[in-house]
Amino acid sequence: MDSSTLISAEKIAQICLDPIFSTYLQIVKSSPQAKAKQVVEPSQTRPETLCFVSTPELLSQALKGHPSIIVALDQLLPSEIQIGEHQALFSTPNISAAMALVLPLFDQKLSRFPMGIHPTASVDPSARIGKDVRIGAFTVVGPDVEIGDSAVLASHVVVEKAARIGARTLLHSFVFVGANCSVGKLCEIHPHTCIGSDGFGFVQGKDQRRHKIPQLGTVVIEDLVEMGANCAVDRSTLGETRIGEGSKFDNLCHIGHNCRIGKNNVFAAGFLMAGSCQIGDNCMFGGSTVLSDHVTVGSSIVVGGRSAITKDTLKPGAYNGYPLEPFRDSLKTLANLTHLTSMRKQLTQIRRHLGLEKESE
């Protein structure tokens, strides 16, 4: 994570002065001489590095290496902490929040992708390409495609006819965006994800064969959406499959056709969603959660991993399990399952004692 330029403590201090972010990052001591070119773990500190520390042990390790900048949890900052004249110290109530504010200064991800259009890329003459767009080797951009300013298409990306890619969106290698589909601004789509594959629509005829229903709709992905590797979002039969602004997907997620997902939702790896489902805003889904088709989930709902949602769930709250239950009830169910074998033995003994063991059920 080396940076081509040093990041100064004064630049980090500017974040602290923003009223929106000052709750999460405060200046304890800054110095014009404190600069870092790399973020490291506390055990790997040395001059010109920055580290985050969350325990007294990690703080002790970090100080031994004399890092230029330290970001520490609030409770780790007694007055006796001694740092050098050329070091800087910041405090935070939440290390993850501080990372979200500071690490973008060191992020050199775009340096992976060369400027301009690679000579092996195939770009249709009718495509509308914005300013400062990067298009990698062997990428295919179809007719009537629109790509916004500063977007990045890595190598081997395919963007089919009349698709739209928003400004400053990053499509990693081997991403597919189907015809007429749309990806908004400031999105990031990781390798081998497919946007706009056909929905899973078939009808069984009298000959018992499944006959395909053409999938004529599109996919619309709104701004600030991130999708992990190996995800799939199916185009709708008619109309659109839509993913709302700010939603985040881990790897290996599937969104079926005609689904509509609201804003600022989070989906852990292995989330599977059958067709024609709806999800509101501000929900969280644990890994390997499954939604049956034609199910509606409301807003502000949290679902534990490996759960299955088979009916509408509209009331805000936490849920878990299969069949889905309120979270506390599901914990009781899990606890009771461990007693089923002994309860069955006890029931057999009771039936035998009552002379009922030979009665038919």
Q: Which residues does the annotation mark as catalytic?
A: 257
Q: Cα separation of 172 and 63, whole Å?
A: 38
Answer left, alpha or beta for residue 120, where phi above 0 means left and psi between -120 and 50 means alpha: alpha
**Rg of the chain over all Cα atoms, to the nearest angstrom:** 27
Residue 261 in tokens: 């997902």
Q: At what angle do helices 95-102 and 9-16 cross, to 10 degrees?
A: 120
DSSP 3-60: -SSPEEHHHHHHHHTSTTTTTT-EEEE--TT-EESEE--GGG--TTEEEEE-SHHHHH
Which residues does residue 8 pair with via DSSP β-bridges, in sequence order? 35
Q: In the block, which residue shows the tokens 């490996």?
A: 306
Residue by residue, DSSP assigns 268-318 as -TT-EE-TT-EE-SS-EE-TT-EE-TT-EE-SSEEE-TT-EE-S-B-S-EE
Structure tokens at 197: 């594959």
DSSP label at residue 213: P
Name the residue type at position 13: A
**Tokens representing residue 208 in the block:** 């018992």
* 3-class state of residue 87 by DSSP: coil
